[in-house]
Structure 1
Amino acid sequence: MVDVLTEIVIHRPREVVARYASDPDNAPGWYANIKAVSWESTPPLVVGSRLAFRAQFLGRKLDYVYEFTEMELDRKLVMRTAQGPFPMQTTYTWADADGSSTRMALRNTGNPAGFSAVVNLVMAPMMRRAMRKDLARLKQILEAT
């Protein structure tokens, strides 16, 4: 079981950060490992929406489908794998850090059973590094606009 939480403060209003980060079409721009996203359900994003993601992690190509299970506008987004190599849940939360900044948290939990036991031991630190880089990229994109 892995449970990895990372946070960052982005100097942009919560609504701006949440809307950009929660738009699946933006994911390949700020997630290094996500190579493509395609809608399996009709936009816009709502609870029950399903999207296919193509990613690369630890040298492996991964195809999986996320189903969006919880949405609270500009506050929280939860998605879980409906199909893919291992069960995973991803949660985004956004909170005001001060009048013009946002604290974004990114949490991934799951059981990467498709990987060897040795890989499972190093999975959380590797995920944490990747997630920190992704949030730093998101910060860079949003603070440049």
Structure 2
Amino acid sequence: MSVDVRTEIVIDAPRDEVAAYAADPSKAPSWYANIKSVEWRTPPPLAVGSKIAFVAEFLGRRLAYTYEVTDHVPGERLTMRTAQGPFPMETTYTWATVEGGRTRMTLRNRGTPTGFTKLAAPLLTTKMRKANTTDLQTLKALLERP
């Protein structure tokens, strides 16, 4: 069973501002509750082929993985993939301008769990959706500060 979780939020800030902040891996711990550290494996700036190592905690487990950027159109979309561990994952961010100059940000995580995590796919989907919703709300609060 594959996992495909899509969440979105509207942020009262310009698209370029939202995209620049969200696409900066160094800022991920400020709005992702589960991400504990980030380390560039290739030199910034972010581009297709960039590699970034993350350490996260999810469902009580420590996860260390390296994402590779596979698609990046600044201000429009960012896609990263990892093939490591029991749960290879693709994460995509998209940004679109909506009414009033606000930004709709979509966060999509998808992958096909293997081994034990395959059995837990329904639980993973539910927990990921909840975590992603919370993370996007945190990002919104950070970027809408007066």
TM-score bin, normalised by smaller chain: over 0.9
- TM-score, structure 2 length as denominator? 0.95
Give the RMSD, CA atoms, in angstroms: 1.2
Contact residue 63 and residue 85 of structure 1 kept, 8 A: no
Whether 1:20 and 2:21 are equivalent positions in the alignment is: yes
Whether 1:32 and 2:33 are equivalent positions in the alignment is: yes
- After TM superposition, the structure 1 = structure 2 runs for residues 3-82 of structure 1, keeping only pairs within 5 Å, are 3-82=4-83
Displacement of 1:116 in angstroms is 4.0
Q: Structure 1 unaligned runs (5+)?
A: none
Quote the residue 1:91 is aligned against.
92
Quote the residue 1:123 is aligned against.
124
Partner SS, residue 44 of structure 2:
coil
Identity of aligned residues (%): 56
Residue correspondences, number: 145
Q: What amino acid is aligned across from residue 66 of structure 1 in structure 2? A: Y
Displacement of 1:114 in angstroms is 4.5
- TM-score, structure 1 length as denominator? 0.95
CA distance in 2, matches of 1:77, 1:114: 28
Displacement of 1:62 in angstroms is 0.2
Partner SS, residue 102 of structure 1:
strand
Q: Structure 2 unaligned runs (5+)?
A: none
CA distance in 1, matches of 2:45, 2:118: 39
For 1:67-108, what per-residue CA distance to the aligned partner results, in whole angstroms no more than 9, with x for missing partners?
000011100000001434421000000000123200000000
Displacement of 1:39 in angstroms is 0.5
